[in-house]
Amino acid sequence: MAGTGGKRLNKGAIQKPSAFGLAAHAAGMAASPGKEAVEGSYRAQIVSAPGWQFTGSVDVDTHFKATEAQAHRWDYGIGIGQANGQELECWVEPHSASSSRHVGEMLAKLDWLKRKLETAPFKKLRAMTYVPGRTGHPFYWLRTLSGECRITAHGREARRLAKSGLRMPAQHLTLP
């Protein structure tokens, strides 16, 4: 069931597509199974919390590259679900944290993503993002391993991030 994040089972049966896959499809994006849409070098930095499984992922950046070449595009959307059927959306942006100027870039990307979430095609993804009393945070800055982290917790830039609803950059993410 390519494109909706569903998995083909061994016996040829097709697993029911995930809510994430359907939501991504509604937004015009093809979901990949698990976290496969995430570039290989970042995958090991993202794991699921006990009891949770990845239900699909989308490369938002690549999808909008042609139509919004100059925009500060967000990188990935990842679906994550529990056995009880609850599914959440986590948005992950691998980005350098080697200087405080990257805070401005991240906030521009977050702003772009939030504006996308307000559009009709993203309605289902939005509903999975903003879930009342949800577990975990919806937006994550994944610090790229190649560089240093030079954003300190008590600096003004850290407070700008917080005020915009983005947590401090992390080297490893346990979602949701």
Interface with other proteins, residue 152, by CB under 8 A: yes
From CA 76, how far away is CA 58, in angstroms rounded?
Answer: 6
Residues 108-127 that bind other proteins (CB under 8 A): 114
**Closer to other proteins by Cβ: residue 57 or 144:** 144
Residues 86-105 that bind other proteins (CB under 8 A): 97
- Which of 3-29 are b and which e, b meaning 16 or more Cβ less than 10 Å from the residue's Cβ? ebbbbeeeeeeeeebbbbbbbbbebeb
From CA 124, how far away is CA 141, in angstroms rounded?
Answer: 22
CB of 80 to other proteins, least distance (A): 16
- Helix ranges (DSSP H) in 36-147: 40-43, 60-65, 101-117, 123-129
Q: Which helix (H) or strand (E) holds 162?
A: helix 156-163
Q: Using CB under 8 A, pick the residue from 138, 173, 175, 176 that binds other proteins.
A: 138
From CA 135, how far away is CA 40, in angstroms rounded?
Answer: 26
**Closer to other proteins by Cβ: residue 6 or 125:** 125
Q: Using CB under 8 A, pick the residue from 37, 80, 92, 158 that binds other proteins.
A: 158
What is the pattern of x (binds other proteins, CB under 8 A) and - over residues 51-90?
A: ----------------------------------------
Interface with other proteins, residue 146, by CB under 8 A: no
Any idea which residue has 């937004």 for tokens? 27
Closest CA to 152 of 86, 107, 72, 98: 98
Interface with other proteins, residue 169, by CB under 8 A: yes
Footprint on this chain of other proteins (rule: CB under 8 A)? 97, 114, 130-132, 134, 137-139, 143, 148-154, 158-159, 161-172
